Structure 1
């Protein structure tokens, strides 16, 4: 059964967050899965692990505490935000696999636009090489099943030469997911400089336009929606 697509347009964060919670609380085993696609007005959101020292200078942009995983991030115009509201028990996969599938959908969305995305071990989300966004060369700091002791598992992520293009933060309640993933398309990136994105000081944030891809918000939203519907299918 395909996940139904619900395009919301540009919406404020707080009512959308409340609506996700209400939808999830009211779900029954029969409730169909949906994928909300939207764009938010400027807002910082703070995850459960969030520490206030990572919000350096919010200025007039509101900061909203949420119950998703992770640290602080920024949402704003020019960013595609996807909220999969899925019953994982019915879909037949676990949280770790769910995160992997979301990241895979983002990676395939980037491929569509001629960009190679990368995972970084220990740092959820998707990253691109700033000097060569199309390069297929593997990152040394990619997640590896058995790294033969080459990279200490607990070494801090190395973001040298990388920019973050998609951020991920999820919540699972009674096997049902909400929150989701944000892909930067053509944004004012300045607000990211007022925080330590995802808790990492100096982590550079990029969007498709910065790395030379001219895609409209709608184009990116359409591709990401289709990839998420494909990869999150049971």
Structure 2
């Protein structure tokens, strides 16, 4: 897998470049992993509902063809775009999502933070009150508040075209979380979001991006 660190880049040209790469690739095209950081941008998934976009203000909203609802990208967040041929990897979409989440959990684990999956809610969650706790989630989710005691630290939103993936995932490292309060993150009203620095982790963008790239490459290399 070819890893490319793009730095801080505008969202829309990056999306257009992903689309072009995916449309032009052939069976022998090497997979790539793009790592970047975007200026403040809200992105809306294909089935995104406008009511989840509360007060965008001066932050642009970009409609996309990825799955999921609305999310936020901004400085201090590692955004990773795996451009992967699933046929060559020999897996289907469900396994691909599982591997993306595994890479995030492993990256968090390298910082002493326990990442958690929540059934039916793609992404990775943590316990802000006890980020290193290894206790399993207790029983079925509370129907009134399935995210009780949890906060989202990483989001997923993917698109598959001709068995090839684009879009990807975002890990909050050290960022201003205020824009997340202008939306219902990923379509969940009142969902708390957090970032590594708020969990007591001292790291920088290049280090976090490098760790995530290492784990993604390991999960997505045949």
TM-score, normalization: structure 1? 0.93
Runs (5+) with no aligned partner, structure 1: 142-150
Give the Å deviation of 1:157.
6.8
Partner of 1:190: 178
- Please state whether the residue corresponding to 2:199 is helix, strand or coil: coil
1:22/1:111 Cα in 2 relative to 1: closer, same or farther (>3 Å)?
Answer: same
Give the Å deviation of 1:227.
0.4
Give the Å deviation of 1:168.
0.1
- Please state whether the residue corresponding to 2:175 is helix, strand or coil: coil
Partner of 1:100: 98
Partner of 2:67: 69
CA RMSD of aligned residues (A): 1.3
Runs (5+) with no aligned partner, structure 2: none
Partner of 1:211: 199
Give the Å deviation of 1:140.
2.6
* CA offset digits 1:48-76 (Å, max 9, x no partner): 11001000000000000000000000000
Partner of 1:119: 117
Given that 1:122 and 1:157 are in contact with CA atoms closer than 8 Å, whether structure 2 keeps it comes out as no
Give the Å deviation of 1:130.
1.4
In structure 1, how many angstroms separate the alpha carbons of the residues matched to 2:198 and 2:4? Answer: 28
In structure 1, how many angstroms separate the alpha carbons of the residues matched to 2:88 and 2:199? Answer: 39
In structure 2, how many angstroms separate the alpha carbons of the residues matched to 1:28 and 1:229? Answer: 20
Partner of 1:135: 133
Given that 1:163 and 1:205 are in contact with CA atoms closer than 8 Å, whether structure 2 keeps it comes out as yes
Partner of 1:174: 162
- 1:58 aligns to 2:56 (yes or no): yes
- Please state whether the residue corresponding to 2:197 is helix, strand or coil: coil
The within-5 A match list for 1:219-230 is 219-230=207-218
Partner of 2:12: 14
- Please state whether the residue corresponding to 1:37 is helix, strand or coil: strand
The within-5 A match list for 1:21-36 is 21-36=19-34
* CA offset digits 1:135-191 (Å, max 9, x no partner): 0000136xxxxxxxxx49xx5771001000000000000000000000000000000
- 1:158 aligns to 2:151 (yes or no): no
The within-5 A match list for 1:144-155 is 151=140
Given that 1:46 and 1:71 are in contact with CA atoms closer than 8 Å, whether structure 2 keeps it comes out as yes
Given that 1:121 and 1:157 are in contact with CA atoms closer than 8 Å, whether structure 2 keeps it comes out as no
Say how many residue pairs are matched: 222
Given that 1:123 and 1:157 are in contact with CA atoms closer than 8 Å, whether structure 2 keeps it comes out as no
Partner of 1:202: 190
